[in-house]
Amino acid sequence: MYDMDLLRSLVAVVDCGGFTRASERLNATQSTISGHIRRLEAEVGHRLLRRSTRGLPYPTEEGAVLLDYARRILALQERARQRLSGKRLTGRLRIGMSDDFASGRGLTRVLAGFAALHPEMRLEIEIGNSLDLLAAVTAARLDLALTKTRGADGGGEVLWRGEVVWAGRAEMAGVEPLPLVLFPAPCAYRDRAMAALGAIGRESRVVYTSPSLAGLRAALAAGLGVAPLAHDLIGDETARIGAEHGLPALGLVDIVLHRRAGFTGPDADELLRILREHWRL
């Protein structure tokens, strides 16, 4: 039998895109996580992870096979724990998020796992911009919303804080005016970029706008321009660029969890536990 902790480490490294965030999620040291992977490789007799050109770990052919089994084994274990604990969650949960949460941070898989563990719970996901999502939480049309900014009252729980960086081909950083690939306004990344460029007097023009992270990544890979993104959203097709290419620093961005007034109970507690674990500071 494979040790659950070893399987959990493998899943975390792949889902988090590296050993640093995996160690944060599992509340362990990086050396512990690395040791788990080495032990697992020794047990199965195959190398399980390789590194991309950007240094990010990805599963080998054998690693992908074990990863699939690991997800199912861990899900079954959690399902057994939930069943034997006597907790049966029912009802409806309405969650809002922007596209980069849904497609770029592994959250869709997390919510799918939650739904599989609680088949009697009806999960509804809404994709939108931060202002609309915050308004929906205030109006009780959503139970939870994940945004990149705090509300007007400064409310919300910060789940994670990450660096905003420039992404794209290095040669595009020297083009005048600077071609920008952006999410539509309102957008925290967009606001940071415009403010930073204005502060140094750098002229720019928007050449591509898309509400989809996949659309932005495609535009960057094609060489249409550069984009401000959280560092964990840069795809393998593009590179991180910055001060060495004459671009200003963009600071940090928060991932903030907002919940409607009165959203309490076992369903709220369980989902909040999972989200906090996924983005453990």
| CATH number of the domain where residue 70 is located | 1.10.10.10
| Distance (Å, whole) CA 224 – CA 153 | 38
pLDDT tens-digit readout, 11-33: 888 877 788 878 877 888 999 99
Q: Is the pLDDT of residue 75 over 90?
A: no
**Where a domain ends, among 85, 118, 135?**
85
CATH code for position 115: 3.40.190.10
CA gap 37, 48 in Å, rounded: 8
- Say whether both 37 and 66 belong to one domain: yes
0.75 exceeded by pTM: no
Confidence (pLDDT) at 150 = 61
pLDDT in tens, 230-272: 887 887 677 889 888 889 999 888 888 898 888 877 777 778 8
Residue 59's domain comprises: 4-85
Question: CB atoms < 10 A from the CB of 188, how many?
Answer: 19
Q: How confident is the model at residue 169 (pLDDT cuts 50, 70, 90)?
A: very high
- Confidence band (pLDDT; 50, 70, 90) for 281? very low
Mean model confidence pLDDT for the chain: 85
DSSP character string of 79-115: HHHHHHHT----EEEEEEE-HHHHHHSSHHHHHHHHH
Distance, CA of 145 to CA of 126 (rounded, Å): 9
Sign (positive or negative) of CA dihedral 196, 240, 101, 257: negative
Q: What share of the chain is helix, strand, coil (3-state, %, to 5)?
A: 45, 20, 30
Please tell me the predicted confidence (pLDDT) of residue 109: 79
> Who wins on pLDDT, 173 or 25?
173
193 and 124 in a common domain: no
Confidence at 82, pLDDT banded by 50, 70, 90? low
Return the amino acid letter for 38.
Answer: R
**H helix runs in 155-209, sequence order:** 188-199
Contact 214, 238 (CB under 8 A): no
Same domain, 266 and 152: yes
Amino acid at 273: R
Q: Are residues 147 and 19 in the same domain?
A: no
What DSSP designation does 262 have?
A: T
Question: What's residue 90's pLDDT?
Answer: 65
239 and 101 together in one domain: no
Secondary structure (3-state) at 62: helix
Contacts of residue 164, Cβ cutoff 8 Å, sequence gap at least 6? 188, 189, 192, 228, 229, 230, 231, 250, 251, 252, 253
Quote the number of domains for the chain. Answer: 3
HSE (CB half, 13 Å, CA atoms) of 136?
20
**Could you give the percent of the chain with pLDDT greater than 90?**
38
pLDDT, tens digit (0-9, with 9 covering 90-100), for 96-150? 998 888 776 778 878 887 887 778 788 899 988 888 899 999 999 999 999 887 6
In the chain, % of residues over pLDDT 70: 91
**139-143 long-range contacts, CB within 8 A, separation 24+:** 140/260, 140/261, 141/94, 142/94, 142/95, 142/96, 142/260, 143/93, 143/94, 143/95, 143/259, 143/260, 143/263, 143/268
